Structure 1
Amino acid sequence: MAAAPDAAFVVVQGTHFVRNGQRYYVAGTNLWYGGYLGAPSGVGQRARLVKELDRLQALGINNVRVLAVSEKTDMKSAVSPATTSAPGQYDEELLKGLDFLLAELGKRDMTAVLYLNNFWQWSGGMTQYLNWFTGSAAHDPNVSKDYERFMAENARFYGNANAQSEYRRVIARIVKRVNSVTGKAYRDDPALMAWQLANEPRPGNAKAGKEQKAAYVRWIAETAGYIRSLDGKHMVSSGSEGLAGSAEDGQLYLDAHRTPNIAYLTYHLWPKNWGWFDSKQPDKTWAGMMDKSLRYLNVHVDYAKTLGKPIVLEEFGMDRDGASFDIAAPTTVRDRFYGEVFKLVQQRAAAGDPIAGWNFWAWGGAGRAANADYWWKPGNDFVGDPPQEEQGLYSVFDSDASTLKLIQASAQRLRAIGGKP
């Protein structure tokens, strides 16, 4: 392939990614807290971030998916501090952390996906926008235990004019930012692979109606178009989970990703969260879970073929043996699950299907749970599990030797497929 202008940027050619004239496969992880570690003060731990990136690079990881902004909230299951303390009020130290992260990624020839909002409450997200502009309580489903109500309420975000105006102001603030470390505008930085509308945006709950679905599709198309109007060099993606985040409506998933302003498709795989697997009865529930998981993966690759766009499996995870959060607990089941997922993705990539890669959830690295109940509190280490979940639930730590070996081997295989003409 001939190198295009600005060849260091990751772009779409046909149904694959290309960078520097070569096919580019994402072998990545989720590092939602990367910008937090990069901050020059407060919660920042730049020395740890540098070590984490070095470790990831040594494993063959070339991409990290990162939370770009968060909203201050009273919800206890949300991270603090936040980049946005109130509409128009930003924590410059945390934004400098994002600058530092991008600078360090550039040094290592790694890339980032930055998501600009969150359907879930653990970073404030859409429910906090609604709190600001409608006066409704920021709904914490970790407290109410009513996720159906939470999802239905959160979908109001897409149609709230004031919330959308503020969201676009935040988008412009980040997209047009000039990096305080490198002096390079984000729009001109090839260390950024793509902007993402939000983490796991949904049209509502499983009962979402026609109007809700239409508002969701319109929001994706218009917001992606707005980002592209500010930055024509970088790709934009939705952050969708796939069918699980589309009210199990395949047509909705396709419609939401047809717009030319969405460069590639995304999907996530959470068999335990979706009730497909019981970690305390692995032998009894393994076969059914894997059958559903592999079907889910294949269906979404086929959707990508239908739309003629690449697709990234940007989240998948499994807990430790026995549903333990203890870092000393084995990862036998997780390793087996990862192995099956990697195998299918590699097979379809080798067959020429529109596979663009994977990001496992999530990198815990050198972080460690600090409390006996495994719940995060301000001042604790950041790990792969956000504050809405027990610390250690899905994190891959730097001591998980067998999982790291598997990830490294899988990254090498994907890179080898990418090296083929």
Structure 2
Amino acid sequence: MFDRRSIIVGGATLVAGCATPVRPGTAGTAPSRFVGVDGLHFVRDGKPYRYAGANVWYGAWLGADTAYGNRARLGRELDRLQALGVRNLRIIGSAEESPLKNSITPGFRGKGSSYNEDLLKGLDWTLAEMAKRDMTAIVYLANFWEWSGGMMTYLSWVNGGNFINMNDPAHPWPEFPDRNAAFYTSRPAQTLLRDYIKAVVQRTNSVTGVAYADDPTIMAWQLANEPRPGGSDAVAVPNLPNFYRWIDETARYIKALDGHHLVTTGSEGLKGSIEREDVVLDAHRSPAIDYMTTHIWPNNWSWMDAGNLATTYDAGSAKVADYIAAHVRLARQLGKPLVIEEFGYPRDGATAYDPKIATTFKDRFYRQIYAAVEADTAAGGPLAGSNFWAWNGEARTPHADYRFVRGDLGYMGDPPHEPQGWYGVFDSDASTMAVIKAHAAALAG
């Protein structure tokens, strides 16, 4: 399935075809502080490793010692999450200075080889503070979507500045993901990303003095947030060999730089794989991919009606159950662990973004996800953890329309292209936090 040629572009070797790495923590190896894989399960310190996690993409921005940073708030948010029993955070380790609408600024990098050291030090600080609380991190190194610059930005840097914006009426769905899929055939764009991956993976933490590659605080490197082979079958199907090749080669490249950490895709699962099980399997089949991921978004996928939750919740819940069961079955087939690393649900109402609005159905949805994790764990299955989307904490939007404005410093789990408060969990959401805390305690027990 995979083309494992060694390819040289622009004088930079794109590593491929290296020997299959030993997966850290596999059976027969000595106990390690690094999270590893033993069959269907994660292990750490010689014991099974399961976790209740959260998405806190903005950690590096808060951790930066700059006008846009807020290290005191970062510490408070981590303390709140630790008190809930959250053990793992999924954070972003890349963002590109981009012409795309709604992309976050500042970024970790522009087109050149000079990277934003202030923001990288913010990532250092975040990892150092997580280590104090015995949390682990999943760090994603690219984004299929526009809100952090992403693959469309890389393409614009090598194609003369051509790009389209997501949700542009002049370029209706699925034109954006179809155009983005050209990344998997653009060796110049991939080379730019590889250069950045190398800089991050081989970085030494300026706070702790520990090389990232030697830091057990990092659980896994992730290739990208929600990589897809395309948006339409007409583009995605012929692009599948390129998509699989990019996953395999990039994962092997990271393994060649860092032999301690796990690597995974960041895939949504079936919804990011043109609804085909064979695509999910082949995207995670590379021996350099250590575990499988899936994301669950009932509202985004029209599985329920946010304006009529009372009568549509149950139908959506049934689809969620089927979706989880399908991915558990696929993970068993692969023989790899599974993480539900994104799941989100709105508050009670179609345009309900204010933290004062109830979370009745959101709490039910969280309980469903957590019950599935607990049941599969009890059965010895591959479902080893989850990361809710996302932690808003003490942030509140100052804008009546709940829209993000460039320059806003009250970072939330809801990224800049989304209404601020749509899916995130606020520090005042007592009932939701109680659900999270109960699940974390159940897994710990």
- Is the shorter-chain TM-score for this pair beyond 0.5, marking a shared fold? yes
2:167 to 137, 142, 146: 142
> Scaled by the length of structure 2, what TM-score is found?
0.91
* Residue 27 of structure 1, aligned match among 35, 43, 52: 52
- Name the amino acid aligned to 2:336: K
SS in 2 for 1:295: helix
AA matched with 1:353: G
Q: Which amino acid aligns with 2:411?
A: F
Deviates more, 1:200-209 or 1:385-394: 200-209
Residue 127 of structure 1 corresponds to 152
State the 1:213 CA deviation: 1.1
* AA at the equivalent of 1:51: R
Q: Secondary structure at the match of 2:130?
A: helix
Q: Is the 8 A contact 1:63 1:110 kept in 2?
A: yes
Show the counterpart of 1:411.
Answer: 440
Q: 1:61 aligns with which of 66, 82, 86?
A: 86
Identity percentage of aligned residues: 49
Gap regions ≥5 residues in structure 1: 417-421
> In structure 1, how many angstroms separate the alpha carbons of the residues matched to 2:187 and 2:138?
27
SS at match of 2:303: coil
2:378 to 350, 375, 386: 350
Which of 232, 245, 253 is the matching residue for 1:218? 245
Deviation for aligned residue 1:137: 3.0
Q: State which drifts further: 389-398 or 137-146.
A: 137-146
Q: Is 2:212 the counterpart of 1:186? A: yes
Structure 2: state its 5+ residue gaps: 1-24
One-letter identity of the residue aligned with 2:127: L
**Corresponding position: 1:260 with 2:287:** yes
Structure 1 equivalent of residue 355 of structure 2: 327
- 1:337 Cα deviation (Å)? 0.9
Give the partner amino acid of 2:418: E
Q: Which amino acid aligns with 2:205?
A: N
SS of aligned partner of 1:86: coil
Amino acid across the alignment from 1:149: E
> Is residue 103 from structure 1 mapped to residue 128 from structure 2 by the alignment?
yes
**Aligned residues of 2:97 and 2:108 also touching (Cα < 8 A):** yes
1:419 alignment partner in structure 2: none
Q: 1:211-258: per-residue Cα shift (whole Å, max 9, x none)?
A: 311111111011000000000100000000000000111101101111
Q: What residue is the counterpart of 2:202 in the other structure?
A: 176
Partners of 2:59 and 2:172 lie apart in 1 by 30
Cα distance between partner residues in 2 of 1:139 and 1:370 = 29
Q: Deviations over 1:82-122 (max 9, x none)?
A: 11122312110000000001111111111000000000000
The answer to whether the Cα contact below 8 Å between 1:369 and 1:380 also exists between their aligned partners in 2 is no
Once residues 372 and 300 of structure 2 are traced to their aligned partners in structure 1, the CA distance between those partners, rounded to angstroms, is 21
1:371 aligns with 2:396: no
Amino acid at match of 1:293: V
Q: For the Cα contact (< 8 Å) 2:68–2:409, is it kept in 1? A: no
Secondary structure (helix, strand or coil) at the match of 2:349 reads: helix
Q: Residues 370 and 376 of structure 1 are in contact (CA less than 8 Å); yes or no, is this contact kept in structure 2? A: no
Q: For the Cα contact (< 8 Å) 1:11–1:19, is it kept in 2?
A: yes
Partner of 1:205: 231
1:69 alignment partner, SS class: coil
AA partner of residue 268 (structure 1):
H
CA distance in 1, matches of 2:172, 2:119: 32
| Alpha-carbon shift at residue 6 of structure 1 (Å) | 6.3
The secondary structure found in structure 1 opposite 2:331 is: helix
Runs of 4+ residues deviating >3 angstroms? 1-6, 142-145
Opposite residue 345 of structure 2, the aligned amino acid is M
Query: 1:34 Cα shift?
Result: 0.5
Give the distance between the partners of 2:175 and 2:101, measured in 1 at CA: 18
Deviations 1:296-327 (A, max 9, x none): 00100110000000000000010110130111
Q: Which residue of 2 aligns with 1:166?
A: 192
Q: Determine the structure 1 residue equivalent to 2:261.
A: 234
Give 1:78-117 correspondences, 5 Å limit: 78-117=103-142
- Tell me by how many angstroms 1:3 deviates: 9.2
Distance apart, 1:61 and its partner CA: 0.3
